[in-house]
């Protein structure tokens, strides 16, 4: 971890139009929570739907995509990363720092709003607020690592990330049961399930699979990103 790298990265991600998307997505979650409260639909089933479909199913991967690729892809794209790479700092340290920045952003913009929305609707009932906040936190960490890696290895990180988030996790994960084992969303739900006690929510992936999967994916992706950064060649535009 390097404080200067982290400082520059925070300013790069938060200083541009990117931050609008980072704010908009959790705002919509809170808006929906307020709306559900207003129409008096504060039962566990409705809240679980909100959490599963919106918080974990839509907001988390999108925020992961924006924060994870946003910490490194634009810098590689326009060559500003040279400023960091031409210094006596090991490249894996730079990768780990960028990963930590992205994960912390997801904790703030995804996990906290998830907890607030859940708490707004149910207070502490059935552990739903805390459970899904934990799920969002863990999922955010895994997404940060994966999308950081994508940002390092390809110039089309966002497009590929979109295909992964939309096509793989929603379509394939929804239709092919076996594919659910290989979905960060599903792992996040498994962690959420550890704290919740409601009849309306049953994660499909076991903890015995999800814990090693999250660990392997996160550590593997960050280490790989660091190694790729060591051999990064920067050549021209486009």
Partner 1 sequence: MSEAVPAPAPAQPIGVIHDIGYRHYEGARLGRGHAFAALTLHSLRGVFGLGRTARAKIMPFVLFGVMMLPAAVSIAAMALIQRQAMTYPSYAVVMQPVLAVFLAAQSPYLVAPDLRFRVLPLYLSRPIATADYVAAKLAAMAAALFLLIAVPLTTLYIGELLVDLPGPPHSGEYFAALATSVVFAVLLACAGVALASFTPRRGLGVAAVIAVYLLASAISGVLVGVFESISRDEAAAWAWLINPFFLVDAVQVWLFGTPPNNDGGYPPGVGGPVAAAGVLAIIALSVAALLLRYRKAASS
Partner 2 sequence: MNIELTQVSRWYGNVVAVNDVTMTIGPGVTGLLGPNGAGKSTLLHMMAGFLAPSTGTATLEGRPIWRNHQIYRSIGLVPEREAVYGFLTGWQFVLSSARLHRLPSPEDAAAKALAMVEMEGAKDRRIETYSKGMRQRVKVAAALVHEPQVLLLDEPFNGMDPRQRLHLMDLVTELGAAGRTILFSSHILEEVERVAQQIEVLVAGRHAASGDFREIRRRMTDRPHLFRVRSSDDRRLAAALIADASSGAVSLSEAGLEVQAVDFRRFTWLLPRVARDAGVTVWQLSPADEDLESVFSYLISRSTR
Residues contributing to the site for partner 2 (CB under 8 A): 2-5, 7-8, 11-12, 15-16, 78-80, 82-91, 230-235
Residues in region 138-197 near partner 1 by CB under 8 A: 156-159, 162-163, 165-167, 170-171
> How many CA atoms within 13 Å lie on the side-chain side of 166?
6
54 interacts with, out of partner 1, partner 2, none, CB within 5 to 8 A per kind: partner 1
DSSP state of 51: I
From candidates 5, 50, 130, 142, binder to partner 1 by CB under 8 A: 50
Tell me if residue 74 falls in helix, strand or coil: helix
From candidates 2, 5, 25, 193, binder to partner 1 by CB under 8 A: 25
From candidates 40, 88, 178, 208, binder to partner 1 by CB under 8 A: 40
Contact between 118 and partner 1 per CB under 8 A: no
From candidates 4, 34, 35, 82, binder to partner 1 by CB under 8 A: 35
**Within 10 A of 33 (CB to CB), how many other CB atoms are there?**
25
Distance CA 35, CA 46 (A): 12
What Å distances lie between residue 54 and 46, 82, 142, CA to CA?
12, 38, 18
83 interacts with, out of partner 2, partner 1, none, CB within 5 to 8 A per kind: partner 2
Contact between 69 and partner 1 per CB under 8 A: yes
Q: Are 2 and 88 in contact (CB under 8 A)?
A: no
Distance CA 94, CA 85 (A): 8
* All residues at 6 or more sequence positions from 109 whose CB lies less than 8 Å from its CB, including other chains: 22, 23, 25, 26, 63, 67
Residue 62 CB, shortest distance to partner 1, in Å, is: 5
Residue 133 CB, shortest distance to partner 1, in Å, is: 18
* All residues at 6 or more sequence positions from 102 whose CB lies less than 8 Å from its CB, including other chains: 13, 64, 67, 68, 70, 71, 144, 147, 148
43 interacts with, out of partner 1, partner 2, none, CB within 5 to 8 A per kind: partner 1
120 interacts with, out of partner 1, partner 2, none, CB within 5 to 8 A per kind: none
Short-list 28, 190, 53, CA closest to 117: 28
Sign of CA dihedral 176, 145, 215, 200: negative
Residue 98 CB, shortest distance to partner 2, in Å, is: 14
Of 6 and 46, the one with the shorter C-beta distance to partner 2 is: 6
Residues binding partner 1 (CB under 8 A): 16-18, 21, 24-25, 28, 32, 35-36, 39-41, 43, 45-46, 49-50, 53-54, 57-59, 62, 65-66, 69-70, 73-74, 77, 156-159, 162-163, 165-167, 170-171
């Amino acid at each position: 971890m390097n404080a200067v790298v982290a400082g520059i990265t925070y300013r790069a991600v938060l200083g541009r139009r990117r931050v609008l998307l980072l704010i908009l997505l959790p705002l919509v979650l809170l808006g929906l929570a307020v709306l559900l409260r207003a129409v008096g639909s504060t039962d566990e089933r409705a809240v679980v739907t909100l959490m599963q479909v919106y918080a974990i199913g839509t907001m988390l991967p999108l925020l992961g995509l924006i924060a994870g690729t946003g910490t490194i892809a634009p810098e590689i794209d326009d060559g500003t990363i040279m400023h960091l790479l031409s210094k006596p700092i090991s490249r894996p340290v730079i990768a780990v720092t960028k990963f930590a920045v992205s994960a912390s952003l997801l904790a703030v913009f995804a996990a906290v709003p998830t907890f607030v929305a859940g708490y707004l609707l149910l207070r502490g009932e059935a552990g739903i607020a805390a459970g899904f906040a934990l799920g969002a936190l863990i999922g955010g960490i895994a997404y940060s690592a994966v999308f950081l890696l994508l940002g390092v290895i390809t110039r089309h990180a966002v497009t590929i990330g979109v295909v992964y988030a939309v096509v793989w996790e929603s379509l394939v994960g929804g239709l092919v049961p076996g594919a659910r084992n290989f979905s960060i969303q599903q792992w996040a739900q498994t962690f959420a399930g550890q704290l919740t006690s409601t009849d309306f929510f049953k994660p499909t992936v076991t903890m015995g699979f999800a814990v090693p999967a999250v660990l392997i994916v996160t550590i593997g992706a960050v280490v790989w990103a660091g190694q790729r950064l060591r051999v990064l060649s920067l050549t021209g535009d486009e």
